[in-house]
Structure 1
Amino acid sequence: MTNAHTPHQSSTGRPSFLRSPVGVALIMVGAILAFFVLREHWSHVVGKLPYLLLLACPLMHLFGHGHGGHGGQKHGSDTPQESADSGKTTR
């Protein structure tokens, strides 16, 4: 494997945008803005928390399937031979 690189770098060898100085600055400005917006509108946010909790359930169901949901079954193992062999245990 000659094309090894760290996860935060793209295949061109440059760091990703979020790890660049401009990306870090934008993340920091966004965090500061989020703090002040939440500080001023906290009573509105607290009133919506039960609805956000109910909304989190279907969103986690939709987006969680790509990360090993439903027992980590492989797509494409629909043939009867593979499904019959998967139930056997060896010693």
Structure 2
Amino acid sequence: MPWWRTASGLVLIGFLAVGGFFLITEHRAHVFGVLPYLLILACPLMHLFHRHGGHGGHGQAKHQGHDDASGKAGS
């Protein structure tokens, strides 16, 4: 049984949800003030962790599986 389905897990999730709600409502100006910087920081962080999609593979998939002029598969 996963931990979030136990009684203590449900209580923890409830406390985190209530705490997150009050944290956001009481500090809305701070949270929304940081959002533009998080969007700017998102692209370099995705590149750092290699989760950006690769921008088309950076040319790695150009020659994979393509036939040459003689009709033979690439050697």
**Normalising to structure 1: TM-score of the pair?**
0.49
Distance 1:60 1:24 in 2: 32
> Radius of gyration: which is bigger?
2
Sequence identity percentage: 47
Unaligned 5+ runs, structure 1: 1-14, 71-83
Write the letter of the residue equivalent to 1:64: R
Distance 1:24 1:58 in 2: 36
Query: How is 1:40-51 mapped onto 2 (pairs within 5 angstroms)?
Result: 40-51=26-37
Give the number of the structure with larger relative contact order, counting CA–CA contacts within 8 Å between residues 6 or more apart. 2
Tell me if 1:64 matches 2:51: yes
RMSD, aligned α-carbons: 2.6
Unaligned 5+ runs, structure 2: 55-62, 68-75
**Normalising to structure 2: TM-score of the pair?**
0.58
Shift of 1:32: 0.6
Distance 2:23 2:6 in 1: 26
